[in-house]
Structure 1
Amino acid sequence: MPKLTSAVERTLDSNTKVVLVTMDNHLSGAFEQVSQKLMASAGLRFKMHAASDWRNNPSALEKCREDIGQANIVIVTMLFMEDHFLPILDALEQRRFHCDAMVCIMSAPQVMHLSRMGKYVANTQAGGLIGLLKKLRPSAKDAQGKDKPVSAGAKQMAMLRRLPKLLRFIPGSAQDIRIFFLVMQYWLAGSEANILNMVIMLVQRYARIEETHSAHRVKLEAPVEYPEVGIYHPRMNTRLSDQLADLPYTKNSKQPAVGMLLLRSYLLAGNTDHYDAVIEAIEAKGLRVIPAFSSGLDARHAIDQYFKKDGTPQIEALVSLTGFSLVGGPAYNDAKAAQVALKELDVPYIAAHPVEFQSLDQWGDSDRGLLPVESTIMVAIPELDGSTVPMVYGGRPGAEGTTCNGCDRQCTFTKAHKAQNMFTCAERTEMLASRVHKLVQLRGRKREERKLAIVLFNFPPNAGSVGTAAYLSVFESLYNTLHTLAAEGYRVELPESVDSLRDRLLVGNAAQFGTQANVVHQIPVAQHIQQETWLGEIEAQWGAAPGKHLTDGKSLFVMGAQMGDILIALQPAFGYEGDPMRLLFEKGFAPTHAFSAFYRYLREEYKADAVLHFGTHGALEFMPGKQTGLSGKCWPERLIDDLPNVYLYAANNPSEGALAKRRAAATLISYLTPTITEAGLYKGLIELKQSLERWRGADESDQTDRVSLLQMIHEQALALDLQVPSLDNFVAQHSADLASIPWVDALQAQLLELEYALIPEGLHVIGRLPSRDERLSTLKAMAQAMGIDAPELIGKLVDGDKEFELQAYTQGFSDAHILQIKQLVETNHILSQDHELAGILRALDGRYIEPAPGGDLLRNPEVLPTGRNLHGLDPFRLPSAFAVKDAKRQADKLLARYAADGQGLPESVAMVLWGSDNLKSEGGPLAQALALMGALPRFDSYGRLAGAALVPLNELGRPRIDVVITLSGIFRDLMPMQIKLLAEASFLAASAEEPEDQNFIRKHSLAFMQAQGCDMETASLRVFGNAEGAYGANVNHLVDSSCWEEEDELGNAFTNRKGFAYGREGHPIRNNALLQSALANVSLTYQNVDSVELGVTSIDTYFDTLGGISRAVLLFFFFFF
């Protein structure tokens, strides 16, 4: 066998077929060139398949399986996700011992274990490859020296270069392991030359020559080495370098610099058109670009080497074009490490992305935008690092002749566009460059020179809610914010008081113009017609300009007040009021003339340097368009454009906050929700409580007094709509035993629960620290949630006693409770400081805002400190292990409560799932849906959500409950993987060969199959929601406006809006008949109210969802039965 460390020659068989399977097409251009050269020089047939093609092209999957079955040598790489490797796993297993070699690298363990190369057979030899890796892994000191931090990629490549040398002289299977590492070395430096030589090496080593056809003499070259960390520029002579001085800029350039992160693999493959376009677009704005790369998907080394000088940041913004987290890739991410690096840079961090798993024309035509895997890997995961402004900038062209409808340019792809090479979306790239430029300008402009717009809201419209926001005292908070801005250098005309500020905004000249607030500016209709780019779309919805909202026929009004260089403006109403049947968020909807003109005024006429949306929430992020990965046709993009957007958002609402980030390019600044306190009782309940106390203290021998008191308690309970039995003949039947009456005892327990229920107290005020009593109430509630009953200890803690002074009060506490007490001490410290105004100032300075989880403070103290950039949870880890464990307990309690009424178990439960409740509780409600079905989430070897699994009936101990699930639009947008999880659970249950009396999902699915003649895939669908791009059931709008006569209209409205069924692939298909049939079987409707901050009467969304589905259940029960 020739030694492969130097050039070698070998005769190759012309019939040899090599098949390579990988995650995506980013190396396909290089593969195509390699394939042609291998056929020309060696007569080899080389086929490449990308797993990303299979979702939309089943024939591509079949072709891949066919090629695997015929291959002499199979190479598999970068298959981490089950959606990518499970469709071919059986084909690989079948071919493993019938091909010359199978090399599986950098993939899931199930794939890696299939490697078979000569004498090396993975998973059969003691220690194996993994043991060798552990023993020979170099240290950072070995790789780079003592003082310099080392990237994961640099360590890996140092190891790969070292191993073949060490293994060179070891006989037996070690030589095959040596080849394995050389394959990795070739692959990770995946230029055209290295891919070519990787294939040649494997054929020379393993291909069996059975026939003697014409052959070619092929020279094998050692791996070409490239910088592990370096810079790239299309105008550099070498294109790649490790020297910053090689960039094509003058040495003393004063232009602000933008750091840019690129994927090394794209650069080595020469697939760089999308990168080049972004570089060119940003340079056209007068900025320098430092495009850097780092191997191993760990960008920290590139950041330290090229974006800093002697530890000091040298850039004004950081843009990642990789589509991955800063530290990690498709298999993992290290958000904590990324946050440390980004905090040191302290510049805006924009994570833009190409569309990797679909073509640009598919993205352009889609209402959804990004695919679930794209929105998870490229948007949700980078948000954990603290990224902002997620947006598409390019992707792969469609087939020749197809058109991308992502924007009005409607690019048509020609033969010149290589179908698998990356292509820039010019409109998106220009928008990305403009946004970067505006952020850099914001950073460079002194505070006293900046013009800011602060936007207040008016929701719900026509309800006296001008200038309101969830949990926030808006005008008091705004007053404090203005004073802080003035103190920090902004030019602000300060109002005398909060009342003065409110009057200037809400009174002023409002009566003169017949508006709800002061009119600060008038936009002539002729100007609006001339400047409105999308006038035709707006007029198709609202009639000729200026429409009917905020206008006198001659002008459109901007409401608000100018206070120095701060414009306080009131966002116009949405436009649906008075016509609730007009579906606000449906495809084709457009904002009113006034709404579009409002944002155009802020951008183009007022020329704000930044906008601050003040409180939760407005309408901008809910305007029509794609769910994620928005295009130039999406209204939120059109309205906010390139204006830097800071959004003050309630810390307990990460789901809707995520929409603002992803659909309105917002950097969120979280604010605390009000102090939690005990609810107490109001007058009628207090009187009932007093009567009950007299009952407990009354003389049991005085029957007359007790009967009189019992009648009073009964009357008071009925007046409060509390459930009590009839008193007819009650006294006569129980006259001998009036000492203990069950329903009176039940009333006492119910009153106790009401009195001590936790509720928010008042409204939060930005710039005002919680008082001692408010901190005490919050910490008591947190201690209660932790299971700690120590009021004296909490009082001492709030009063500032040192930790060692508190030890006397913690005798007998468990170690876990001791840790929780320390957490309470830290919480008290955080609540004693202001973080929110500081966060607003940092965001308006264009600095990095640290990310923070959102949710309920009682459940997750990590929401503190506020003043940070909200994010949701890692969707790969949802639901959490705790949520799954707690869900079983909750499901058991629900079923026991239903059975207590003597009805046995319900065969079917209708359940409402919201995005906000699931993000706040780590997936608690969705885990409850799984628990009712007798299912569990299934995680892969990397700990990422991969699907569902059934709990065996003998372990479950009860029948599987049929769960009909309706989703909020926000759940659909933020949790596409969890939709597939729920759909897979219902399908597995329906398909299980189990008795129908032990599996109600199967029972009802089989009945529907028989009645409708459909397949099990359809009959088992149990996850329903809106069409893509639509939100809400509209039941609340109908009720609010009294636009209904019969209650059945509410049930029909609900099923018409929620009649889209989501299957295992995550695609919505309208199927009202299935939803109606499923609802007819329902015995119980359920929604877990997860937060103490909201009750079912707090907001109308509860009767839109839970109320809507309850009405629909009644409607279709009577219809079918």
Structure 2
Amino acid sequence: MKKIKTVVFNATGTGMISMAGAVRRIEDEFPGRMEVQARTNDDLFDSRMMDRFTHHLQTADCVIVILHGGRKSFRFFDRLIEESRNAFVFIQPGDEDEMSLSARHSTEYGSDFFDEMVRFIKFGGEENWTNLLRSLIKRFSGEDIPYDPPQKMPSEGIYHPRTGVSLTLDEYMNSQGTSLKELEDKKTPIIGMWFYQGYYVDGNLAFVDSLVNEIERQGCFPIACFYNRFPDRILNNRDPEWVAENFFQVDGKTVIHVLLSCMVFSMRLTLPKFAGVYEKIGVPVLQAITLFTTRRNWEETEQGATPLDVCISAAQPEFDGILITVPVSTRDAAGQDLLTGATLLRNMPVEERIGKIVSLAGKWAMLGIKPNAEKRVAVIFHNYPPRNDRIGCAAGLDSFKSVKNILDRLKQEGYSIEREYESGDALAHEILDRVTADRRWLTPEAMAQKAADRIGPAQYSAWHEGLAEKNREHMVRDWGEIPGGLFVHEDEVMVNGIINGNVYIGIQPPRGFVEQPEKIHDPHLAPSHHYIFHYRWIRDVFKADAVLHIGKHGSLEWLPGKSLALSQECYPDISIMDLPNIYPYIINDPGEGTQAKRRSYACVVDHLIPVMTNADRYDELAEVDTKILEYIQTKSMNPERLPVLQKEIWQLAAKQNLHSDMEVSEDEAFSDFDAFVERLHSWLSEVADTAINDGLHVMGFVPEGEGLAELVTQLVRIKNGDVPSLREAIAGQWGYDYDNLLQYRGQADPTGRFPTNAVAITEIHRTALEIVMDVIEGREPRTADESPEVRRVVEFIRDVVLPKLEQTTEEIDSVVAALSGRHVLPGGSGAPTRGMVDILPTGRNFFSVDPFRIPSPTAWITGKALGDALVERHMNETGKPPESIGMVIWGSPTMRTMGEDIAEAFYLMGVRPVWNSRNGRIEGLEIIPVGELKFPRVDVTFRTSGFFRDSFPNLMELLDEAVAMVTALEEPVGKNFLRKHVLTEAEELVKRGIDPEEALREASFRIFSDPPGVYGAGIPAAIDAKAWEKSEDLGEVYITWGGYAYGKGVYGEDRRDVFRRRLSDISLVVKNEDSREYDLLSSDDFNAYFGGFVAAVKTVSGNYPKAYSGDASDPDRVRYRSIQEEVKHVFRSRILNPKWMDGLMRHGYKGAGDLSRAVDISFHWDATSDVMEDWMYDALSEKYALDEKMQEWFKEVNPYALQNIAERLLEAASRGMWNASEEMKKRLEDMYLDVEGDIEERTDA
């Protein structure tokens, strides 16, 4: 009797457990009659493994191939087919690619036997596999072997480990001996769960059993169902909506309180028809992460999750508004099957994490059960630096007014709140009167008197002992024995903030670097004992049901630990515990908001950007520009007066140091004064035409009147998809070439309508504002019918923009919804003024991007334009293309732009992405032929943020792959600077005795970031803690935090030595900005990464490199400025602009704190990059610190801000960064002492 030889290749291993069980049954039933060899991708991961496997293919009677993702799912697919040429080949059809492969390569595609095999495998399970193998024996032996036809397994059902499968909810409730009414009466949380039917069919249920058992152990009731998400003609399965309606709802009413999803991918992206199913269910949905990595890998690495996990278990589920939590299973080998040789993989439960997610789910469930009057809520303000001028720091948000509005709404909803606040400032001042994070103003005894509560030794000792041993030892090593030295009096730990009824309003504890400046070179610094005890107090003593973290951003989500799928030893997990975390966050920062989602399990509620407005001409700048227009008109009317006007213009410009902005001397200006005037007029026009923030946003507040008109005008300033730019439409209507106007602002208007192009731009913008105001007020714009393009924009404003903005009230609605245990709708994220009105309205739990679709084809176009602009700028300055550059890469811009920075980097290196035509995903890279290149291939060294590293591990490897591809090209080194540098360094390393292969790898390192598990560049804390003397000290901090290499096969290897070598060769550092909603002086992060890079190059090379700031706020019109030019541009347009200052002054305490931080950040940039000139410090002093009206206002709303401004300016003078006059220093010193005395009087009181 013939022995039937069968080979099974299953790319992912799904179903292999059932297959192996079937093989054992066949061996028992037909001993020695059949040999089955089975393998997965894990078994055939390299060519050597494939070599050893080929003899099985060559001698097989039948080869069964089960792909998951088409040809790309198995790198040796073509070889497998070739080696199977003598066998009966069957390829299981699946997606479009697999259908095509099956039709091309299956031996009897479409036959009855083929169709039967399809059903056997599709239905799955051990019984179907057994009958499939019986059918193969019959087919290839010719014997009459009986077998049963394919048997369909339940496609959906409710599962319980004790009672098996129920096909209806009633049947399930009966099997559990209870009823929904009884559970409702007992206020029992009902936790729904859904998972893949394949787990049930394959008997791969260990983690499901653990989840169900843990739900019951914690006093909740489980409804765990399985189904197939994707519709299948053969399975005839039910869709997700049917599953929700029949298992989680009764008569349309949802009966579960929270849903655990063990499903991967996104409903919105993969089944858009059912994108609304989670909204229909209406409860919080928590992602129970089923990792595609092993327990050992998860436990022992800081990465925690694979690139695939990041995509399918985090990035994609976020599109559905799902809350990202912790891993419930790892994918581990259950051993090698002796009969088939296959590695059998099972999803093994992570018991401790299962306890965590069930506890978290239970608390979310209770928000939907507990009466509002009984709910206790903690509100946490962020505070960095930990000073009293900066409490409630939240980018673009009036955090105190927003919290006042939230509290007012909660009181209306029945929450127990004893005191109402007249204003946001009233709340701020009440907090300032208690214990804060600023220890300079209160003695420990005074802290004890003013504390909201005090934590005794018995309590905090128990908390400390409850931590993992690893964490206890780490914290004691960094902070001493408990309770440490922060906020401690007589062995008691002080709790900051205030308690108002059932609401605690407090301040997030300091991260610790400012408190321990000597630890600035230790990125792994543990949070302090006080930090951990503070959050423990919130949960265990105050007994909060939920916590609200207010605004971008705090430190909790940036604490050391895994990037995703956190363990109990990760500090964010230790801190947030199982508290539902609701996090209002600005819509234009998807990266940092996503960090909060993935590392503190936050439900983000996004909020609108502040109103944006044009900077316009102001004060002396307006006076100069007026004089320029007089000069232009005088040229034709009264030319003999020109010398007088030239002198006046020069004197006015020099008085305002505008000649410094131009980098023009008096002699140079007068050598061609018309050219100087044209440049100056153009510069002033650019400043005036720059969009800036006008004040801060308030949660739930819809902009009104002029503010609304200004914001809408900025929202339609550039095109939105196929809706044209309003300004461009008006320009076209008036007969202008809009690009010509922008490029030649200082030149005469060719139409004669206005004196210059700059004036034309001003009038176009003014007209745009008028049109917008007409639409807002319900009038028909006078000129709309004259231009189809203008008409199109008007309709877009009326029908889309305004209705979306009116929904801004939903921001607070969504906070209330989250606190009520309801699902918060998902929404897009990005910069609305960059042609992204579609991401509105706010009040959504924003999502970001699919990392495998980056860069997008559109981003590639902009990236190429950026690359061309960069090289052109460098050529104009130096006469040659850049050879070795450093580039800062962040996660948020990558998400907002779909990867323009990555696209530019690829383009500079001379490679381009290859996109899958069906799904838009990146399939790889290809070399741009040397004949197509506009410049030699550039050597690019990357410093990525820790968040980018975590969210785009695929791009870290793809960038590394690009380096390898370009290095391998046989090209002249004059055409390939990257190859030139790599080979030169590798040759030097070989001379030192390093193995040639290792030398080439080391010389190729170009992607650097933070050490695994930590985040940041270390620069802000070093400067704020005064832990530096010269810029080289900051450069060393940058190298310490950023000298870790990443790439294929390399994850966070400490290669600070290699990073130094890279820095020594860099002559240009680059960072791009994609929106004017923020700029280089908006936060300390810009200087930390960009300015720090500049300082690091100087530290190693001895010279400051060139540094370019890319402006891609209009993707169709990108440009580069030097950082000196950009900082001056921001100073002129925003920092010294009364319009911007007045906007912040409307926001009292919070606005004053933001002005204070603007001075800090200017100082930070000077510390790293030497960009501040004396006049800039002089102007800050006169406008911010020494103006009497400003002093009076600061003292009223936030004297701490005035004190910090004076202290920072005096520090600049004392360090020699500012050559301040003795009179100026004396005035600042007197003012500093005056305000310090006022503060001490307040705190003593």
TM-score class, shorter: 0.7 to 0.9
Q: How does 1:32-47 map to 2 (within 5 A)?
A: 32-40=20-28, 41=30, 43-47=33-37
Given candidates 544, 556, 569, the residue that maps to 1:608 is: 544
Given candidates 30, 39, 43, the residue that maps to 1:49 is: 39
Distance in 2, Cα, partners of 1:797 & 1:379: 40
Given candidates 317, 335, 339, the residue that maps to 2:275 is: 339
SS at match of 2:981: helix
Given candidates 179, 198, 201, the residue that maps to 2:132 is: 198
Q: How does 1:310-709 map to 2 (within 5 A)?
A: 310-326=251-267, 333-334=270-271, 336-356=272-292, 358-397=293-332, 420-462=345-387, 464-498=389-423, 499-508=425-434, 511=442, 513-515=445-447, 519-532=451-464, 533-534=466-467, 535-582=472-519, 586-587=523-524, 589-681=525-617, 683-698=619-634, 699-702=638-641, 704-706=643-645, 708-709=647-648
Say if 1:919 and 1:118 are closer, same or farther in 2 by CA, change over 3 A: closer
Instruction: Identify unmatched segments of 5+ residues in structure 1.
Output: 1-10, 121-172, 210-214, 402-417
Distance in 2, Cα, partners of 1:1096 & 1:478: 28
With normalisation by structure 2, the TM-score equals: 0.77
- 1:1071 matched to which residue of 2? 1055
Describe the superposition over 1:721-758 as per-residue Cα deviations: whole angstroms up to 9, x where unpaired. Answer: 42333335875xx4xxx552x33322221111111101
- The question of whether the paired residues in 2 share the 8 Å contact of 1:85 and 1:111 is answered with no
- 2:1074 matched to which residue of 1? 1090
Q: Does 1:913 align with 2:889?
A: yes
Report the Cα offset of residue 943 of structure 1: 2.6
Instruction: Identify unmatched segments of 5+ residues in structure 2.
Output: 184-188, 231-238, 337-342, 437-441, 720-724, 731-765, 991-995, 1106-1245
Say if 1:638 and 1:508 are closer, same or farther in 2 by CA, change over 3 A: closer
- The question of whether the paired residues in 2 share the 8 Å contact of 1:339 and 1:850 is answered with no
- The question of whether the paired residues in 1 share the 8 Å contact of 2:34 and 2:137 is answered with no
SS at match of 1:1050: helix
Report the Cα offset of residue 806 of structure 1: 5.8
How many residues matched?
Answer: 1015
Say if 1:1120 and 1:703 are closer, same or farther in 2 by CA, change over 3 A: closer
Aligned amino acid, residue 571 of structure 1: Q
Aligned amino acid, residue 829 of structure 1: P
Report the Cα offset of residue 338 of structure 1: 4.1
Q: Does 1:74 align with 2:74?
A: no
- The question of whether the paired residues in 1 share the 8 Å contact of 2:775 and 2:797 is answered with no
Describe the superposition over 1:787-839 as per-residue Cα deviations: whole angstroms up to 9, x where unpaired. Answer: 22256566455455699946961443249x82784256422123234111111
With normalisation by structure 1, the TM-score equals: 0.85
Report the Cα offset of residue 962 of structure 1: 2.0
Say if 1:1119 and 1:971 are closer, same or farther in 2 by CA, change over 3 A: same
Say if 1:474 and 1:730 are closer, same or farther in 2 by CA, change over 3 A: closer
Describe the superposition over 1:1036-1092 as per-residue Cα deviations: whole angstroms up to 9, x where unpaired. Answer: 333333323343333333233222222235633333344333333333211001221
- The question of whether the paired residues in 1 share the 8 Å contact of 2:1043 and 2:1054 is answered with yes
- 1:994 matched to which residue of 2? 971
SS at match of 1:1087: strand
Say if 1:564 and 1:1120 are closer, same or farther in 2 by CA, change over 3 A: closer
Describe the superposition over 1:233-269 as per-residue Cα deviations: whole angstroms up to 9, x where unpaired. Answer: 2222x54645641452225352243321121111011
Q: Does 1:727 align with 2:663?
A: no
Bigger drift between 494-503 and 667-676 goes to 494-503
- 1:188 matched to which residue of 2? 122
Report the Cα offset of residue 912 of structure 1: 0.6
Q: Does 1:291 align with 2:259?
A: no
Describe the superposition over 1:459-499 as per-residue Cα deviations: whole angstroms up to 9, x where unpaired. Answer: 12136212221111122111111111111211112334124
- The question of whether the paired residues in 1 share the 8 Å contact of 2:646 and 2:673 is answered with no
Q: Does 1:223 align with 2:150?
A: yes
Report the Cα offset of residue 319 of structure 1: 1.4
Q: Does 1:895 align with 2:871?
A: yes
- 1:1112 matched to which residue of 2? 1096
Report the Cα offset of residue 536 of structure 1: 4.4
Report the Cα offset of residue 540 of structure 1: 2.4
- 2:1129 matched to which residue of 1? none
- 1:404 matched to which residue of 2? none
Distance in 1, Cα, partners of 2:935 & 2:668: 41
What RMSD over aligned residues (CA atoms) do the two structures have, in Å? 3.1
Distance in 1, Cα, partners of 2:157 & 2:782: 54
Distance in 2, Cα, partners of 1:61 & 1:317: 46
Say if 1:730 and 1:444 are closer, same or farther in 2 by CA, change over 3 A: closer
Say if 1:338 and 1:579 are closer, same or farther in 2 by CA, change over 3 A: farther
Given candidates 637, 647, 655, the residue that maps to 1:716 is: 655
As a proportion of its length, which structure holds more helix? Answer: 2
Report the Cα offset of residue 648 of structure 1: 1.1
Describe the superposition over 1:257-309 as per-residue Cα deviations: whole angstroms up to 9, x where unpaired. Answer: 33211211110111111101101111223332222222254533311222222
Q: How does 1:781-796 map to 2 (within 5 A)?
A: 781-786=714-719, 787-789=725-727, 790=730, 792=767, 795-796=770-771
Say if 1:74 and 1:785 are closer, same or farther in 2 by CA, change over 3 A: same
Report the Cα offset of residue 367 of structure 1: 0.6
- 2:911 matched to which residue of 1? 935
- The question of whether the paired residues in 1 share the 8 Å contact of 2:90 and 2:106 is answered with no
Aligned amino acid, residue 862 of structure 2: D
Q: Does 1:878 align with 2:814?
A: no
Describe the superposition over 1:1006-1035 as per-residue Cα deviations: whole angstroms up to 9, x where unpaired. Answer: 222222234455433322211211212213
- 2:1196 matched to which residue of 1? none
Distance in 1, Cα, partners of 2:621 & 2:1104: 42
Aligned amino acid, residue 317 of structure 1: V
Distance in 2, Cα, partners of 1:759 & 1:584: 36
Distance in 2, Cα, partners of 1:586 & 1:28: 44
Bigger drift between 368-377 and 1094-1103 goes to 1094-1103
Report the Cα offset of residue 198 of structure 1: 2.7
Say if 1:1018 and 1:192 are closer, same or farther in 2 by CA, change over 3 A: farther
- 2:954 matched to which residue of 1? 977
Distance in 1, Cα, partners of 2:496 & 2:51: 60
- 1:139 matched to which residue of 2? none
- The question of whether the paired residues in 2 share the 8 Å contact of 1:339 and 1:386 is answered with no
Distance in 1, Cα, partners of 2:360 & 2:647: 75
Distance in 1, Cα, partners of 2:557 & 2:521: 13
Report the Cα offset of residue 630 of structure 1: 0.5
Distance in 2, Cα, partners of 1:201 & 1:744: 89
Bigger drift between 656-665 and 1048-1057 goes to 1048-1057
Distance in 1, Cα, partners of 2:193 & 2:1062: 52
SS at match of 1:1053: helix
SS at match of 2:291: strand
Distance in 2, Cα, partners of 1:472 & 1:64: 61
Say if 1:730 and 1:862 are closer, same or farther in 2 by CA, change over 3 A: closer
SS at match of 1:395: strand
Distance in 1, Cα, partners of 2:669 & 2:106: 89
Report the Cα offset of residue 607 of structure 1: 0.8
Report the Cα offset of residue 182 of structure 1: 2.5
Say if 1:48 and 1:688 are closer, same or farther in 2 by CA, change over 3 A: farther
- 2:206 matched to which residue of 1? 273
SS at match of 1:904: coil
Report the Cα offset of residue 716 of structure 1: 3.1
Say if 1:342 and 1:119 are closer, same or farther in 2 by CA, change over 3 A: closer
